[in-house]
Amino acid sequence: MTNNKTVKEQFDLTGKNVVITGGSGFLGMYFAEGVAEMGGLPILIDLKNDSVKKASLILKEKGFDVYGYSLDITSPEGVKEIFEKIAHKHTHIDCLINAAAFAMKNLREGGNEFFAPFEEYLLSNWQMSIDVNLTGTFLVTQTVGKLMKNAQKGSIVNIASDVAIISPDHRIYQPNDQLGYKGVDFNTPAAYSVSKAGILALTRYLATYWSQHGIRVNSVSPAGVFRDQDPGFVKMLSSRIPLARMAYPEELKGPVVFLCSDASSYMTGTNLVVDGGRTIW
């Protein structure tokens, strides 16, 4: 990184390979699109091969180059095998975006047990959240970190959450007769908050651990992202956000690209909060 680049040049990702776990997911697709728009090559990692193929096709139809690999990130053997292929095919990884999360899978599939009250919460779902959100991130980052350490450069962006910083507001899920709000049949489980808080600790640890090897490690903590949720829920949540609305997924592309790029070259160990001001109340 030289200090005579223009701002436009600093944000440019041309020639950079960017691995995105959860790359065919709702937010992962937006991250991939943002990377591609700035000239980078998104390399999608996700569990289901069909989802990876579909996401890759959508990006290619928009005129972007993209590669995709199916992988269970909780499998040490699988992580080793796939990243050996990636290293052979692409020679270098410039940025890793850890976006895979157990929560999004269950929100899409409507798994009621995922949203069970804490008193009845299944150990299996607790463990799955830890396995995917934390252990999977650990395994992938450990493997990619070795490659970046050999190259003496790289940027890692971990996707955390506003509920890694504050508690979920349980009131937004519960009925409120005075407001005519019927409530919703979902919530933010403790397992999600705990695993995302762990991501923040891992980010700080690795930022200091790899600081002498040219590797920067930062995180992004978004608030709730609009995705056609129940109108009453959207209203309840928005009333607790200073900007009075949920985030649009497009609004997360810029912060993630920023942390991948040289525009954030003097940032490491930072948690970039993108929450409409929610955590300041």
pLDDT in tens, the chain (281 residues): 557 899 999 999 999 999 999 999 999 999 999 999 999 999 999 999 999 999 999 999 999 999 999 999 999 999 999 999 999 999 999 999 999 999 745 554 545 688 999 999 999 999 999 999 999 999 999 999 999 999 999 999 999 999 999 999 999 999 999 889 999 999 999 999 999 999 999 999 999 999 999 999 999 999 999 999 999 999 999 999 999 999 999 999 999 999 999 999 999 999 999 999 999 99
Helix-helix angle 76-90:137-151, to 10 degrees: 30
Contact between 218 and 158 under an 8 Å Cβ cutoff? The reply is yes
* Dihedral pair phi/psi, residue 23, rounded to 5°: -65, -20
On whether residue 265 sits in a domain, the answer given is yes
Contact between 199 and 158 under an 8 Å Cβ cutoff? The reply is yes
On whether residue 253 sits in a domain, the answer given is yes
On whether residue 128 sits in a domain, the answer given is yes
Provide the number of structural domains found in the chain: 1
Query: Order of strands, edge to edge, in the sheet holding 271-274?
Result: 67-70, 41-46, 17-21, 95-98, 154-159, 215-222, 271-274
On whether residue 280 sits in a domain, the answer given is no
Q: Between the CA of residue 252 and those of 61, 136, 242, 258, what are the distances in Å?
A: 22, 22, 18, 10
First vs last Cα of the chain: how many Å apart?
37
On whether residue 1 sits in a domain, the answer given is no
User: Domain residues for 13?
Assistant: 7-274
Find the CATH number of the domain harbouring 205. Answer: 3.40.50.720
On whether residue 281 sits in a domain, the answer given is no
Q: Encoding tokens for residue 180?
A: 């005519």
- Select from 73, 76, 77, 58 the least CA-distant residue to 105: 73
On whether residue 119 sits in a domain, the answer given is yes
pTM: 0.96
Strand partners, 163: none
On whether residue 2 sits in a domain, the answer given is no
- Select from 158, 104, 141, 167 the least CA-distant residue to 272: 158
Q: For tokens 């937010």, name the residue.
A: 27
